[in-house]
Structure 1
Amino acid sequence: MDRLGLICRNILEEPYITQRELAKRMELSLGTINGLIKECAEKGYIREDEDQRGKRLALTETGQAVLAPYKVDGALIIAAGFGSRFVPLTFETPKGLLEVFGERMIERQIRQLHEAGVYDITIAVGYLKEKFEYLIDKYDVKLLYNPEYSCKNTLATVYRARHLLKGRNMYILSSDNWLRDNMYHAYECGAWYSASFQKGDTKEWCFTFTKKGRITDVNVGGRDQWVMYGPVYLSREFSARFLPVLEAYYEAPGTEQFYWEQPFVDMLKGEAKRRLEAEGGTLLARAEEASGWKASQWDQIEMDVNRQPENQVYEFENLEELRLFDERYQNHSDNAAMDLVSRVFKVPESHITDIRCLKAGMTNKSFLFRVDGAHCICRIPGPGTELLINRREEKEVYDTVASLGITEEVLYMNPDTGYKIARYYENARNAAADNWKDMEICMGIVRKLHQSGLTVDHSFDIRERIDFYERLCLQHGGIPFEDYEKVRGWMNELMDRLDQMDRPQCLCHIDANVDNFLMFEDGSAKLLDWEYAGMCDPIMDISMSAIYSYYDAEQTEKLLEIYLKRKPSKEEYYSVFANAALGGFLWCLWAVYKAALGEEFGEYTIIMYRYAKGYYKKLKAL
């Protein structure tokens, strides 16, 4: 769209616009605007009308035909990600569904699109996808699920939506942007990327562009720069040349964590050609054929910078930034975890600062925070854990072992909900399974627990747990292993043999894996997360620790000797491998059940199943 087309678009959107207003909006002189309007009239694009409000300009059919190729066909809103910098709010609500001044960010953008006449809107979802379902009825949008949202970045999301972009003029939006004024239009000129000016040092992606606004380079970091910030518009001509390269990038190894903009940046730099050539040339040839454009010309891809005024586009990096923008979040985030921390420490939410997400565990989610100098960690039970874990029994264990000084300092624990707040230890690290000095310290803590004489009223019964998880699996789609019935019989043999041994019982941790040991610089350690703890054969802790560490038989035997401080007896030897087999079988069932609920743990399921089969065969051979 040239300047005459822009005159037509502005007149279509605002028939009563003055020439002075046009000059300001298009950043042109008043004389230039007068000339453009005269030229549009001479070409028959516009005519002058008069109504009750006075004189106005209107598009003719010829003018509307000029605009037709530039009509925006729709919008893709990217909303698949987790939003880790907004925990704990995003544990419950996707970031794009957070409210700013009482309006959800994604709804504000949908409304702005509608105001511009753009109604064909697709939302690419992933994390908490069900939360977006109501938008189908409220705004007649469509949802597109990206199954790779948890392991790949936005390049994969746009790849999944590429059919929506091909041959169409489309906006791409981030669901978590907040735009002060509506910057969308029914008609757009060539491809553009929204930009905001950042004063001082920045780590954002910074534009280099010509006087006319054509983007020539993009680099991460700079000072006093126009940076990528906000929505994007892809013309059908741009997408025809860009999407084949994006598709090739998706298939190329090592691009899993790329943003969707990376192929464009690499095209400008000449890196796209080199990257795809390095993959043997097949991907490069396919991209060239699909785009009808030689790779040597890719650096000529055309996209303009769309410079936005200050305070127009907002992309909140964390809760602290949102608090500064919308004061409601200072003390009323409407989040259960934030409300809990506020009540436990008797402070307003504004005192909860330095919030950071921890990597989600296999059962729970956690986040770090500070309250008036205290550095703590809050555990939030994962969905469905109330079925799997007895929180009252967990609290009983914590209360029982408190005198030993081997656990983290628990500041709050709710036996009904499973929420826990504990002290966070600076400069501590997890134990390393391949560091035998670490393992000696860990086994020393386990030994201290076993020899303490402390007891609780409940047991960890491996037979009962296997039966329980087996039922859950069968109720949720079955168990996928071809030889499961045979292996289940093997496990019954092992359990029967252990019952005959009548092994001694003591208070055990059950989940004594290296990730649950905190190691300190002075050589001491603490054992965390006692969710499965109960009375059991003490050798069970050694077996579980070994399979969690993916130890082989030789390493498992070495760990047992470290714990015992001597050579194991035949019975202890049998017990450690039988319990390792049963533990592998149990956690395999646990993972199968979790997968049926939508949580995947990669090869963990197979590794655990192999422990069950491998150690059964080992014991059988004896």
Structure 2
Amino acid sequence: MNIEQLDIMRNLTAGQQTQRTIARHTGYSLGKVNRLVTELQKQDYVDSSLQLTAAGKQYLVTHHPQRAIILAAGYGMRMVPINMEEPKGLLEVNGEPLIERLIKQLHAVGIDDIHIVVGFMKEHYEYLIDQYHVKLIVNTHYEDYKNLYSLYLARLFLADSYVAPCDIWFKNNPFSRIEDQSWYLFSNHQTNDSAWRVTNRGTVKRISKGSRGDQMVGIAYLNESSGRLLAKLLQVAVGNELMLSQFWEQVLNDNGRFLLKGRLIADDDFNEINSYEQLRDIDFNSIHLQNKAMRVIEKALDTDLRGIKNIRVLKKGMTNRSFFFEHDGHRYIMRIPGEGTGELINRQEEYDVYQELQGTAWTERVFYLNPRNGYKLSAFIEDAHNARASNWDEVTRCMAMLRKLHHSGFKVGHAFHLYDQIKFYESLRKEPSAYRDYAAVKDRVDRLRPFISQHAKPQVLCHIDANPDNFVFDRNDHLYLIDWEYAGMQDPDIDVAMFAIYAMYDRSQLDKLIDTYYQGQCDRTTRLKIYAYAAACGLLWSNWCEYKQSLGLDFGEYSLAQYRYAKEYSSLVLDALEEDNAQD
């Protein structure tokens, strides 16, 4: 039975008993409905009174979907800032969580065997087990892979099953008591994001380059044979690292042929809730619109939710998650502290630094900073780029900026205590270091402490986190130094060492950096001290990385590089000092 005939059968089982009412509900012409009814009568599924025959009723029994899979594991980056407090499947529209609406719609057509693949904030979905008797499948790789992997985890339940994302709101129930051929749901909205178009016969054709395709909605029905086939395709796909970065629909693309029939839905029959603004547009009173970050923005900019536009997540930083948005023709950045930052950063001290720097033209313009939770609202620097550690013209300007800071006379009431911070980060990881020779390296770094103290310069305000990424050039080539979370009073030479180890410079590059900062006037003792800072700061950030890794964050070669600085430069300085002592 084809999809159009099934539409007629569905309407008959729903109580639509005339061709005219069926035409109104399906959108088909009256002539087309008459033709389809005649076809069903010839197959003995419908009698002359538009009642199901015994064969028609038996067909319903043998073609009833058995189960459903709901994909709800993803982080939902486009849902920032809501996704800081609630997973997207539990966002409420008109007082009803999206995923509960889907579950109720499935129950309404007799489908109770429902598997939900969860990952991000999985604990928030646990209540559904008791309330709706669903089963949860946990995806531990939700941060690493797209939803192809989630569907792979549910591959045993694909036959006679619906597949649905958790973030779509349907005006009418998209599920049915009767299915036959497998299908994938498209919207009649044309978009550049789709390479497919549904024909009048329900086949799905690949469109030519430059054309617009029918929007892919994300719901599919898989009969028994399609479910078995898809399970095999997923099994093969997860063995390919490139495929793991794809959405599950990619396996339906068989060398330009779409493996399922297409089913069309009107664009105004559903809403995809993929962003803060989409939720606002469908339900302005949703409780999830009023989260902490948005309340801060409303108050700081004297606006309401309607004035906040084009919200976009920024790339996740090492410490924070941020998003930018537009208001009244200007763009802003809202910082939301990341995992574990409450342990790492004293927000009151950060606040004090920004108060001291207030009005300075070479720092970002801050409109709001909360000394308790670290929420920060600042102006977006337009058409900007970060300093490039390989561009020595830019590096020279960065070092000039540091000299300007160090001679500015700014003061705050707290210092950055390097060795205390190393000890603090060690305590946070709560287990021995993963590095086998950590104790020996730590001992060498500790032996550098008297030398550093003996030759430390008078303390000035230092940035501490003098990462090349925190030096930003705007469209007019104006240089800013941003993100003062770790700043405090310290020996200014620590900022030179920090810049070098963040940039992962080798020794010749570090020497060039020192000469650039000191404009060729650096004495040997100061140079050795900066080497010692490189060792101690390398150990500091190595411990920081190990702690963050315990929270599920991995910084790749950066973490190894920091440990190498601790290991190699501690040996270098101690050997040099030993030679000096021998000569004396």
TM-score of the two chains, using structure 1 as the length reference: 0.84
CA distance in 2, matches of 1:579, 1:565: 20
* 1:340-355 aligned within 5 A: 340-355=296-311
What is the CA-CA distance between 1:578 and the residue it aligns to? 1.5
1:405-463 residue CA offsets vs partner (Å, 9 max, x unmatched): 32111122221221111121212211111111111111111111111232222111111
Task: Name 2:462's counterpart in structure 1.
Answer: 508
Which residue of the partner structure matches residue 410 of structure 2? 454
Give the count of matched residue pairs.
572
Q: Deviations over 1:80-124 (max 9, x none)?
A: 223333322223222222222222222211111111111222222
Aligned equivalents of 2:208, 2:544: Cα separation in 1: 46
CA RMSD of aligned residues (A): 2.9
Confirm or deny that 1:178 pairs with 2:169. yes
Conserved 8 A contact 1:455-1:506 = yes
The 5 Å alignment of 1:493-532 reads 493-532=447-486
Larger relative contact order, structure 1 or 2 (CA cutoff 8 Å, min sep 6) = 2
Matched, 1:257 2:213: no
The question of whether the paired residues in 2 share the 8 Å contact of 1:8 and 1:63 is answered with no
Alignment partner of 1:143: what SS? strand
Change (3 A) 1:589 1:186: farther
Deviation digits for residues 151-186 of structure 1 (CA, Å, limit 9, x no counterpart): 332223323332332xx2221111111111002123
Instruction: Measure how far apart 1:374 and its partner are.
Output: 3.2
Aligned AA (1:375): R
1:338 aligned counterpart, secondary structure: helix
Is the partner of 2:248 in helix, strand or coil? coil
**Counterpart position of 1:30:** 34
| SS at structure 2 position matched to 1:415 | coil
Q: Could you tell me how far apart the structure 2 residues matched to 1:39 and 1:405 are?
A: 80
Query: Identity of counterpart residues, as a percentage?
Result: 37
Structure 1 residues 579 and 164, CA gap change in structure 2 (3 angstroms) = farther
State the AA in 1 paired with 2:348: R
Pair 1:423–1:31, CA change in 2 (3 A): closer
Change (3 A) 1:210 1:309: closer
Query: Which residue of the partner structure matches residue 269 of structure 2?
Result: 312
Measure, in 1, the Cα distance between the counterparts of 2:381 and 2:436: 46
Structure-1 separation of matches of 2:99 and 2:324: 27
Amino acid at match of 2:569: Y
Q: Find the partner of 1:151 among 118, 124, 144.
A: 144
In 2, Cα distance between equivalents of 1:219 and 1:262: 18
Q: Which moved more, 1:382-391 or 1:248-257?
A: 248-257
In the alignment, which residue of structure 1 is the partner of 2:509? 555
Matched, 1:572 2:519: no
Tell whether the 8 Å contact from 1:204 to 1:227 is kept in structure 2 after alignment.
yes
CA distance in 2, matches of 1:239, 1:218: 26
Range 462-471 or range 8-17, more displaced = 8-17
Range 517-526 or range 360-369, more displaced: 517-526
Q: 2:127 aligns with which of 134, 137, 141?
A: 134
Query: In structure 2, the residue corresponding to 1:261 is in which secondary structure?
Result: helix
Measure the CA separation in 1 of the matches of 2:169 and 2:557: 40
Question: Could you tell me which of 168, 178, 181 is aligned with 1:187?
Answer: 178
Rate the CA distance shift 1:457–1:347 in 2: closer, same or farther, 3 A: same
Correspondence for 1:91: 84
Deviation, 1:532, is 0.7
Does residue 203 (structure 1) correspond to residue 192 (structure 2)? The answer is yes
How far off its partner does 1:56 sit?
A: 9.5
* 1:615 lines up with 2:569 in the alignment: yes
Cα drift, residue 8 of structure 1: 10
Alignment of 1:108-127 (within 5 A): 108-127=101-120
Aligned equivalents of 1:80 and 1:113: distance in 2?
A: 19
Q: What is residue 162 of structure 1 aligned with on the other side? A: 155
Seen in structure 2, the aligned counterparts of structure 1 residues 539 and 171 have a Cα distance that, compared at 3 Å, is same
Give the letter aligned to residue 143 of structure 1. L
Alignment deviations for residues 541-595 of structure 1 (CA, whole Å, 9 cap, x no partner) = 1111111111111111111111111243222222222211221211121121122
SS at match of 2:522: coil
Partner deviation per Cα, 1:130-162 (whole Å, 9 max, x = no partner): 332232232222222323322332223323332
SS at match of 2:544: helix
**For the Cα contact (< 8 Å) 2:252–2:259, is it kept in 1?**
no
Distance 1:115 1:602, change over 3 A: farther
Q: Is the 8 A contact 1:216 1:268 kept in 2?
A: no
Q: Deviations over 1:376-407 (max 9, x none)?
A: 21111224322221111111112223365321
Which of 543-552 and 252-261 deviates more?
A: 252-261
Deviation by residue 1:256-284 (Cα, 9 ceiling, x = unmatched): 4322212322x152xxxxxxxxxxxxxxx
Find the residue that maps to 2:452 and give its secondary structure. Answer: helix
SS at match of 1:251: coil
- Tell me the distance in 2 between the aligned counterparts of 1:7 and 1:89: 38
**Is the contact between residue 465 and residue 498 of structure 2 (CA under 8 Å) also seen in structure 1?**
yes
For the Cα contact (< 8 Å) 2:10–2:176, is it kept in 1? no
Alignment partner for residue 213 of structure 1, among 202, 208, 219?
A: 202
Ranges in structure 1 where 5+ consecutive residues have no aligned partner: 49-54, 270-298
Residue 584 of structure 1, aligned match among 513, 538, 551: 538
The question of whether the paired residues in 2 share the 8 Å contact of 1:4 and 1:40 is answered with no
Conserved 8 A contact 1:15-1:57: no
SS at match of 1:438: helix
Instruction: Give the TM-score normalised by the residue count of structure 2.
Output: 0.89
Structure 2 residue matching 1:311: 3-state secondary structure: helix
Cα 1:485/1:47, change in 2 over 3 Å: farther
Q: Which residue number in structure 2 is paired with residue 368 of structure 1?
A: 324
Compared with structure 1, are the counterparts of its residues 351 and 16 closer, same or farther at alpha carbon in structure 2 (3 Å cutoff)?
closer
Structure 1 residues 328 and 188: alpha-carbon distance in aligned structure 2, compared to 1, 3 A threshold: same
Deviation at 1:197, TM superposition (A): 1.0
Q: What's the secondary structure of 2:410's corresponding residue?
A: coil
Aligned counterparts of 2:209 and 2:230: Cα–Cα separation in 1: 21
CA-CA distance at 1:22 after TM superposition:
5.4
Candidates 317, 327, 337, aligned match of 1:381:
337
More deviation in 501-510 or 350-359?
A: 501-510
Distance in 2 (CA, whole Å) between partners of 1:7 and 1:415 is: 60
- Rounded Cα–Cα distance in structure 2 between residues aligned with 1:525 and 1:567: 24
Change (3 A) 1:325 1:2: closer
Q: Distance in 1 between matches of 2:306 and 2:432?
A: 48
Which residue identity lines up with residue 483 of structure 1 in the other structure? D
Q: Cα distance 1:99–1:332, how it changes in 2: closer, same or farther (>3 A)?
A: closer
Distance in structure 2 (CA, Å) of the matches to 1:214 and 1:235: 16
Evaluate the alpha carbon distance shift between residue 447 and residue 602 of structure 1 in structure 2; reply closer, same or farther with a 3 A threshold.
same
1:480 partner amino acid: A
Aligned equivalents of 1:222 and 1:99: distance in 2? 35
State which of 73, 79, 83 in structure 1 corresponds to 2:66: 73
Aligned to 2:580: none
| Kept after mapping to 2: 8 A contact 1:203/1:220 | no
The alignment partner of 2:461 has SS state of strand
Aligned mates of 1:219, 1:116 — CA distance in 2: 38
